[in-house]
Amino acid sequence: MKSVLAVLTVVAGIIGIWYLACVPMNIKGVLDAAERAGTEVVPATARERRDASALGLVANNSFAISSTWSVDRPRLPAPHQVAVELWQTTVEKKITSKRSLIYHAQVTLSATLFGFALGTGLGILLAVGIVHSRVMDMSVMPWAIVSQTIPIIALAPMIIVVLYSIGVQGLLPKAIIAAYLSFFPVVVGMVKGLRSPDHMQLDLMRTYGATGGQVFWKLRLPSSMPYLFASLKIGIAASLVGAIVGELPTGAVAGLGARLLAGSYYGQTVQIWSALFGAAILAGLLVALLGLIERLLLRRMGVRT
Amino acid sequence: ADEVKLQLKWVTQAQFAGYYVALDKGFYSDEDLDVTILPGGPDIAPTQVIAGGGADVTVEWMPAALAAREKGLPLVNIAQPFKSSGMMLTCWKDTGIAEPSDLADRTLGVWFFGNEFPFMSWMGKLGISTEGKGAEGVEVLKQGFNVDPLLQRQADCISTMTYNEYWQVIDAGVTEDELVTFKYEDQGVATLEDGLYVIEENLSDPEFVNKMERFVRASMKGWKYAEENPDEAAEIVLDNDASGAQTETHQKRMMGEIAKLTSGSNGALDPADYQRTVDTLLTGGSDPVITKTPEGAWTHAITDAALN
Amino acid sequence: MNMQMNPQVDSANDSTQVQPVIEARDLNLVFGAGDTSVQALKDINLNINKGEFVSFIGPSGCGKTTFLRCIAALETPTGGSLAVNGMTPEQARLNRAYGYVFQAAGLYPWRTIAKNIKLPLEIMGFSRAEQDRRVAEVLELVELSGFGGKFPWQLSGGMQQRASIARALAFDADLLLMDEPFGALDEIVRDHLNEQLLKLWARTDKTIGFVTHSIPEAVYLSTKIVVMSPRPGRIHEVIESPLPKERPLDIRDTPEFIEIAHRVREGLRAGHGDD
Amino acid sequence: MNMQMNPQVDSANDSTQVQPVIEARDLNLVFGAGDTSVQALKDINLNINKGEFVSFIGPSGCGKTTFLRCIAALETPTGGSLAVNGMTPEQARLNRAYGYVFQAAGLYPWRTIAKNIKLPLEIMGFSRAEQDRRVAEVLELVELSGFGGKFPWQLSGGMQQRASIARALAFDADLLLMDEPFGALDEIVRDHLNEQLLKLWARTDKTIGFVTHSIPEAVYLSTKIVVMSPRPGRIHEVIESPLPKERPLDIRDTPEFIEIAHRVREGLRAGHGDD
Amino acid sequence: MALVVLALLVWAAGWWVNARLANGQHAHSRAVGLAVPAIFGLTLLLMWELLVRGLQVPMVILPAPSLIAARFAGSLPILWQDFSQTILKGALGGYLIGCCAAVLIAILVDRSDFLRRGLLPVGNFVAALPIVGTAPILVMWFGFDWHSKAAVVVVMVFFPMLVNTVAGLREATEMQRDLMHTYAASYWQALLKLRLPAALPFIFNGLKISTTLALVGAIVAEFFGSPTVGMGFRISTSVGQLALDMVWAEIVVAALAGSLFYGLIALMEASLTFWHPSQRG
Ligand SMILES: Nc1ncnc2c1ncn2[C@@H]1O[C@H](COP(=O)(O)OP(=O)(O)OP(=O)(O)O)[C@@H](O)[C@H]1O
Ligand SMILES: Nc1ncnc2c1ncn2[C@@H]1O[C@H](COP(=O)(O)OP(=O)(O)OP(=O)(O)O)[C@@H](O)[C@H]1O
Ligand SMILES: Cc1ncc(C[n+]2csc(CCO)c2C)c(N)n1
Ligand SMILES: [Mg+2]
Ligand SMILES: [Mg+2]
């Protein structure tokens, strides 16, 4: 309860700052429009205004302040503009409509989940290998780190083209990019988790003469669960970013990435912002969902909450 | 039905109306073709897609296609639905730019990703360096997806298409007489846009050639239909846009502009236009786009069979 | 006073017809190699017979744990011989010849107490019904009936330790190895568990190897106290206890008890040397 | 036998001219509120005079730590009064009236031993030269000279604990509060540290409050043993020790010692009740 | 086909050598620790080369490592220019600003439990904003040059860094804090002598995560507008010109720079948090 209040306070503070920031950010556009409409503005021409400071413009043209919150193509849309756009594109549109954010979110979501499944699977497999094989540990881990220094967005179009060339299209290319981003946190977390049993717990298994498989299933896997979930939460957010990145070069057909791109292409700042927030909300929901699953699972495993 | 995959140069919009109309009106199925249209995007190089075998035929601009040919990817123009170029440079009038020579010492937004070649040639012809600001040089920005650099006055001029970005500037509230435009067509540096290209080897396969004949025939039928029924064509494009971002007004207007560019072409490449494009590209200043006259970069074989 | 003193370890020669449960001959163990090597055990000779309760006591680092781990085949000696029930320790381990209790309870937190006790039974392939029967039995034995469904953190430290003993008892090995099982508990709980352990031992006739830091605990529990000394880890002295099998807690205030405790302390101090 | 027994705590009325170092009157401390509240301390009355060595003993959870923390102003009592040197504990804390030794050594791992000991000196603004002098002095005192440049994890547990005592001694407070400082150590090392602590106390005339779980330790060290009982935490009995200030280790085998230890154990058991 | 078989042989050989090394007696030496991943990488490169040649993959799809190396060696001046524009100015600038700001804010936030509770969830929300959406906005705000790239990097590294530092500042144990309390230490004394040192492992964790974020962020932001120099610019224009060897040369630069940057921070971590159990093996 206290946290909710705290979050609300912070959000309120941010929204306040946001509204304030809209004024200097959008003032030039507002004044240009006013000038075209024949209103007297200081300084009079757009050329002079280009080099004037935004705050100075606000001071000289205070009549324009309220208009900065309702610009059509704002540099910074006002919070309510984003909220209205979000509302209109989620609640007021049919889910099947191509203009519904929910439709696009669901397109991205399917690639995200598919990629997340791939990435998590790969990550867990690699982690199991790394924990059980010294060779893999020593050779794979450094390269896994290097792999993350490669800008995926540079590779994404190429991955897509390469997959095109072997006839793979649709969900899979996007999912592969999503998987590329999400496998790494899973490997790191899972390796840590599978190695988290202490010597004593492992020795206990040896005193029972347990096989490798028994040690894995009865000790390593259960004790890695908290680590697994911590990295799954990072992984699913990364996977979402990957899916969005993957949507850009595929012709930006549909999905939140397509919304972002189209918004950007047509200078629809409000649409960009609402797609951005849509993505972040989706990420938040996914993380929360994982948190819920984690709590349920860990409760069944007897972990204190 | 024979499968054909068509790679577009850009996202779904009226620029490609002919193909969508042909698909929607069943012109392709009449020719016993099963056509898949693959929309492009900011980071998709159509030449790369076709090189990888991801498409059978692609819509590409000739400078990029010829450059790819010199890089060892033998692309051949089999049809040219666009007669003239829609590229132009759009500038603020209040910056004092009135003619091309005023461009020196300015900041200009340019599209890269294989689309910079016409601009480079033009600057080469004007004797303006693109290495940085100065009496004899301009500062070049890699322009992103939109017209913001102009609206925000981060650039004095930006690249626009007559059918698209120009109208976005107008839609942002700018009036036409606040702007100065330089059409590449008027500057004598026009290069051919939006041709259909295939890989050379495939043309030795009669079955593929036959497929392309039917494809070009149906596509041109689509283009004619689109020119005659621009509003319906725009609707068809809108129906095919999965992103839901295009607006009706914009697409109808675009269709109108596109029709101006396609009129005068029956689909067959005019060798004179080709020669002009090659000449322009060869004189590309210090760093010409292509260094030697290309051989066999186009053929009338397909259009001759298709259009008669 | 009815007391025997055996500063020499049991000689290897007086082999009786009864096979010792544990038989160490000139056992050596060196950790690491080169400059940084540590001789954890040096020339250990020791016999433990069936039914004995043997405590190991000595300063930190003298090799008590290491010796117990050798018996359990968790370490491999670098010299000498060691037999458990006449087999190599490794064979004995694979035969599940012993139950091992670690210093901390070491229950798996994601399993209930009952499931923790079942763990070795699952691994050793007992039938479902047999598992349940044995769990009930050992829970009873350590007085935890009714707590089977609880998770470890829902129990006090003493109860957890009892559960961990139950886990080691569940598969009914004849040999019980316990490494400071009560080290972390407070004195009162510890007294209580000591009492119960003694009762269990008296009832079941198991052989028990028991590591402790506490002199009273060692004296109270054992039939034989092995005093070790460090650097390198050696057996300093083996003290046989004359106390009867029945030992009420206040036996600790008897002069016999105090006498043995005093001797153990002297032995410890003599072996301690520096530090 | 020269022994006094004081089952009643010192009465508040017999105020002598000497001001007690610590004076608790009807001290109460309740953790939390509502259903889940725990009464950690109930009606604690206790005087500790200058130069006394007072041990607190009692089962886990009886409030020993809590009481020590109250004196150190690390907890705030919810009732009654508590004075340290005649001031409130908070004032005493700000006056740096005491040194506190925690159960674990709690050295900062990123500082060397010497720098750890310097920590309070830096905070209290001693001069650089004075800092060095004092560090050398207390290192000597706890027999760690030569280890100043080592990091905590390079030392054994016993050495770390001595360093932490050195740290509490460095700024020379008259009152030393120690919460199970030797709980984690083995018996021999513990004996040794006990001996040294006693010597230090005899030499410096500090007042010491000392929490322990070990009966022999409490008896060996203290002039006064406070036996506590849990739920709620109360003082069950205060036992004055008749042992002389000079105490060799083998005083622990004398009948007097055993007698007091026996009484402490009885007191503990009586206070323990259930569990 | 022979080349493909050879590639498989190379793989088997590389693995065999590594298995010998990793399970041999010098497995824990520094040399083997470096040799094993190096051999693994070399094996991958060789296989790449052989497979690309063996399967005749077109160079415009995937160039062979030898071609990439040749391009790399032949374009050092351009690569250096791009590197200094993107990494030295954009990534490093943003990294420094973002990390310092995050640590300072974390220290401020840490004083108020209320702020901390409120800010962290919001921070996690903002951290989930996909960079491909924020980058165009920031380019619009901060212009085409490296400033906007640095801004993108600041946005990307700020929250991971903030979250880690805040967690780190709470890392000091109750007892360590109580000790400070018994000395009647002031807030700043406790911060400097206890909480910051105790937070260092967490801060370094954040710094390490942020290295890769910074690189990726700076490069990606250039896709949304840039001057005609920079690694992201070069990558996107080179793809358009089918100069895939150049694209890969830039990727190699990114990977090298990223690994170096990461390694540098890891080294600093090792020397400053040598006392932490995770650093002691
Ligand atoms: N895995 C190991 N590698 C290297 N040295 C070890 C290892 N295990 C133990 N040692 C060393 O061997 C010696 C004996 O250790 P051991 O744990 O058997 O002592 P202990 O008597 O059980 O001590 P404690 O009472 O502290 O548990 C010590 O010096 C220790 O440092
Ligand atoms: N911060 C706290 N909040 C709530 N309850 C507490 C807190 N600290 C201690 N308690 C409770 O107060 C009681 C006394 O605790 P305290 O730590 O003083 O016991 P102790 O005698 O030191 O025990 P031990 O011997 O285990 O250290 C216990 O029941 C404990 O659970
Ligand atoms: C990043 C980017 N690269 C190139 C173009 C140029 N372009 C390719 S097709 C086409 C016609 C669409 O109006 C245009 C303008 C662009 N716009 N954005
Ligand atoms: Mg041990
Ligand atoms: Mg306590």
Q: Say whether both A219 and A282 belong to one domain.
A: yes
Output phi, psi for D55, to 5 deg. Answer: -100, 145
Q: Say whether both E9 and E126 belong to one domain.
A: no
* B200 close contact with E: CB closer than 8 A: no
E strand or H helix at D235: strand D234-240
pLDDT in tens, E103-159: 999 998 888 888 888 888 888 888 888 888 888 889 888 888 899 999 999 998 998
Mean pLDDT (whole number) for C79-87: 90
pLDDT bucket at E199, cuts 50 / 70 / 90? very high
Q: Say whether both A59 and A125 belong to one domain.
A: no
pLDDT bucket at A252, cuts 50 / 70 / 90? low
Q: State which residues form the domain around A71.
A: 2-76
Asked whether residue E67 is assigned to any structural domain, the reply reads: no
Q: Say whether both E121 and E16 belong to one domain.
A: no
Instruction: Note the pLDDT of residue D132.
Output: 95
CATH number at residue A181: 1.10.3720.10
Answer yes or no: is the C-beta of C64 below 6 A from any ligand 1 atom: yes
CATH number at residue E264: 1.10.3720.10
pLDDT in tens, C5-16: 444 444 444 444
Instruction: Note the pLDDT of residue D117.
Output: 94
Asked whether residue E142 is assigned to any structural domain, the reply reads: yes
Instruction: Note the pLDDT of residue A293.
Output: 92
Q: Are E91 and E146 in contact (CB under 8 A)?
A: no
Mean pLDDT (whole number) for E57-76: 89
Mean pLDDT (whole number) for D39-47: 90
Owner of token pair 């951005």: A276
Which 8-state DSSP code applies to residue D30? E
> A49 or E44, which is more confident?
E44
* A199 close contact with C: CB closer than 8 A: no
What whole-number percentage of chain E has pLDDT above 90?
Answer: 36
Q: Say whether both E260 and E172 belong to one domain.
A: yes
Q: Say whether both A119 and A221 belong to one domain.
A: yes
* Amino acid in position C164: S
What gap in Å lies between CA B148 and CA B127, rounded to an integer? 28
Q: Is the pLDDT of residue C3 over 70?
A: no
Mean pLDDT (whole number) for A282-293: 91
Q: Report how many domains make up chain A.
A: 2
Q: Are E49 and E13 in contact (CB under 8 A)?
A: no
Q: Say whether both A132 and A241 belong to one domain.
A: yes
What gap in Å lies between CA B219 and CA B79, rounded to an integer? 10
Cβ within 8 Å of residue D3, ≥6 positions away: D240, D242, D256, D259, D260
What gap in Å lies between CA A45 and CA D235, rounded to an integer? 87
Cβ within 8 Å of residue C124, ≥6 positions away: A208, A209, C96, C171
Q: Are A158 and A250 in contact (CB under 8 A)?
A: no
Nearest residue by C-alpha to atom 18 in ligand 3: B145
What gap in Å lies between CA C13 and CA C22, rounded to an integer? 15
Nearest CA in chain D to E272: D110
Q: Are A262 and C72 in contact (CB under 8 A)?
A: no
Q: Are A153 and E136 in contact (CB under 8 A)?
A: no
List the structure tokens of A63: 């009549």
What gap in Å lies between CA A73 and CA C167, rounded to an integer? 71
Instruction: Note the pLDDT of residue D14.
Output: 47
> Which string of b and e fits A17-43 if b means at least 16 CB within 10 Å?
eeeeebbbbbbbbbbbbbbeeeeebeb
Q: Are D133 and D77 in contact (CB under 8 A)?
A: no
Instruction: Note the pLDDT of residue D13.
Output: 46
Asked whether residue E144 is assigned to any structural domain, the reply reads: yes
Parallel, antiparallel or unpaired: strands B139-142 and B107-110: parallel
> Which string of b and e fits D227-255 if b means at least 16 CB within 10 Å?
bbbbbbbbbbbbbebebeeebeeeebeee
Query: Average pLDDT over chain E, rounded to whole?
Result: 88
Asked whether residue A286 is assigned to any structural domain, the reply reads: yes
Q: Across the interface, do E216 and A284 touch by the CB < 8 Å criterion?
A: no
Is-cis flag, bond preceding A43, omega within 30?
yes
Q: Say whether both A199 and A56 belong to one domain.
A: no
Domains of chain C, CATH where assigned:
20-97+174-273 (3.40.50.300), 107-172 (no CATH)
Question: B with D: 3 or more CB pairs under 8 Å?
Answer: no
Nearest CA in chain D to E176: D106
Q: Which of A135, A143, A245, A248 to mutate to test the interface with E (most CBs of E within 10 A)?
A: A135
Q: Say whether both A13 and A133 belong to one domain.
A: no
Chain A partners (3+ C-beta pairs within 8 A) = B, C, E
Residue of A14, A148, A257 with shortest CB distance to E122? A14
Nearest residue by C-alpha to atom 11 in ligand 2: D40
Question: Residue E143 CB: number of other CB atoms within 10 A?
Answer: 17
Which 8-state DSSP code applies to residue C10? P
Output phi, psi for C239, to 5 deg. Answer: -110, 120
Asked whether residue E66 is assigned to any structural domain, the reply reads: no
pLDDT bucket at A304, cuts 50 / 70 / 90? low
Question: Residue C34 CB: number of other CB atoms within 10 A?
Answer: 5
Asked whether residue A91 is assigned to any structural domain, the reply reads: no
List the structure tokens of E105: 């804010």
Asked whether residue A260 is assigned to any structural domain, the reply reads: yes
Q: Is the pLDDT of residue E172 over 80?
A: yes
Q: Say whether both E105 and E19 belong to one domain.
A: no
Q: Are E202 and E167 in contact (CB under 8 A)?
A: yes
Q: Say whether both A138 and A258 belong to one domain.
A: yes
Cβ within 8 Å of residue A44, ≥6 positions away: A35
Q: Say whether both E43 and E78 belong to one domain.
A: no
Q: Report how many domains make up chain E.
A: 2
Chain C partners (3+ C-beta pairs within 8 A) = A, D
Mean pLDDT (whole number) for D173-180: 91
Mean pLDDT (whole number) for A69-89: 88
Asked whether residue A82 is assigned to any structural domain, the reply reads: no
> Which string of b and e fits A121-132 if b means at least 16 CB within 10 Å?
ebbbebbbebbe
Q: Are B135 and B184 in contact (CB under 8 A)?
A: no
Q: Across the interface, do E61 and B48 touch by the CB < 8 Å criterion?
A: yes
Q: Is the pLDDT of residue A303 over 80?
A: no
List the structure tokens of A190: 């899972």
Instruction: Note the pLDDT of residue B285.
Output: 60
Candidate ranges A53-62, C183-192, D234-243; pick with highest mean pLDDT: D234-243
Q: Across the interface, do A251 and B244 touch by the CB < 8 Å criterion?
A: no
Output phi, psi for E68, to 5 deg. Answer: -60, -45
Residue of B41, B95, B244 with shortest CB distance to A98? B244
What gap in Å lies between CA B246 and CA B242, rounded to an integer? 9
What gap in Å lies between CA B266 and CA B258, rounded to an integer? 14
Q: Is the pLDDT of residue A163 over 90?
A: no
Q: Which of D160, D188, D259 to mutate to test the interface with C (most CBs of C within 10 A)?
A: D188
Mean pLDDT (whole number) for E222-247: 87
CB contacts of E227 in chain B (<8 Å) are 139-142
| D209, β-bridge pairs | D54, D177
Out of D65, D75, D268, mutate this one to test ligand 2's pocket (max ligand atoms within 8 Å of CB): namely D65
Q: Are B296 and B274 in contact (CB under 8 A)?
A: no
Q: Say whether both E159 and E20 belong to one domain.
A: no
Q: Say whether both A140 and A61 belong to one domain.
A: no
Question: D with A: 3 or more CB pairs under 8 Å?
Answer: no
Asked whether residue A194 is assigned to any structural domain, the reply reads: yes
Q: Say whether both E176 and E263 belong to one domain.
A: yes
Asked whether residue E126 is assigned to any structural domain, the reply reads: yes
Query: Average pLDDT over chain A, rounded to whole?
Result: 86
Q: Are D66 and D233 in contact (CB under 8 A)?
A: yes
Asked whether residue E64 is assigned to any structural domain, the reply reads: no
CB contacts of E136 in chain B (<8 Å) are 144-146
List the structure tokens of D101: 């030794």
pLDDT in tens, B276-297: 888 888 876 656 677 888 888 8
> Which string of b and e fits C90-117 if b means at least 16 CB within 10 Å?
eebbeebbbbbbbbbbbbbebbbbbbbb
* Inter-helix orientation angle A152-165/E231-240, to 10°: 20
Angle, CA D18 vertex, CA D17 and CA D19 arms, to 5°: 110
Cβ within 8 Å of residue C158, ≥6 positions away: C185, C189, C192, C193
Q: Is the pLDDT of residue C17 over 60?
A: no
HEC secondary structure over A97-157: CCCCHHHHHHHHHHHHHHHHHHHHHHHHHHHHHHHHCHHHHHHHHHHHHHHHHCCHHHHHH
Asked whether residue A133 is assigned to any structural domain, the reply reads: yes
What gap in Å lies between CA D3 and CA D109, rounded to an integer? 46
Q: Is the pLDDT of residue D6 over 60?
A: no
pLDDT in tens, D51-71: 999 999 988 788 898 999 999
pLDDT bucket at A1, cuts 50 / 70 / 90? low
Final residue of a domain: which of A76, A91, A126?
Answer: A76
Q: Are E249 and E231 in contact (CB under 8 A)?
A: no
Q: Say whether both E98 and E46 belong to one domain.
A: no
Q: Say whether both A162 and A241 belong to one domain.
A: yes
Q: Is the pLDDT of residue D4 over 60?
A: no
* Gap from C213 CA to chain D (nearest CA, Å): 6
As for the ipTM of the complex, it is: 0.83
Q: Say whether both E37 and E80 belong to one domain.
A: no
Region of A246 please: left (phi>0), alpha (psi -120 to 50) or beta. alpha
What gap in Å lies between CA E165 and CA E200, rounded to an integer? 8
Q: Is the pLDDT of residue A251 over 70?
A: no
Q: Say whether both E138 and E248 belong to one domain.
A: yes
Instruction: Note the pLDDT of residue C7.
Output: 43
Beta strands per DSSP E along chain A = none
Beta strands per DSSP E along D85-162 = 98-101
Question: C with A: 3 or more CB pairs under 8 Å?
Answer: yes
Q: Say whether both E79 and E185 belong to one domain.
A: yes
Smallest Cα–Cα separation from B121: which of B164, B71, B61?
A: B61
Q: What is the DSSP string of C115-173?
A: HHHHHHHHHTT--HHHHHHHHHHHHHHTT-TT-TTS-GGGS-HHHHHHHHHHHHHTTT-
Parallel, antiparallel or unpaired: strands C22-31 and C38-48: antiparallel
Q: State which residues form the domain around E38.
A: 2-57
Q: What is the pLDDT along chain B (308 residues), one digit of tens a residue?
A: 889 999 998 888 899 999 999 999 999 999 899 999 988 877 778 888 888 888 899 999 998 898 888 888 899 999 999 988 999 999 998 888 888 888 888 899 998 877 888 888 888 888 888 888 888 889 998 887 788 888 888 899 999 999 988 998 888 888 888 899 999 888 888 889 999 999 999 999 999 999 999 999 999 999 999 999 999 999 999 888 877 777 888 899 999 999 999 888 888 889 999 998 888 888 766 566 778 888 888 898 888 888 87
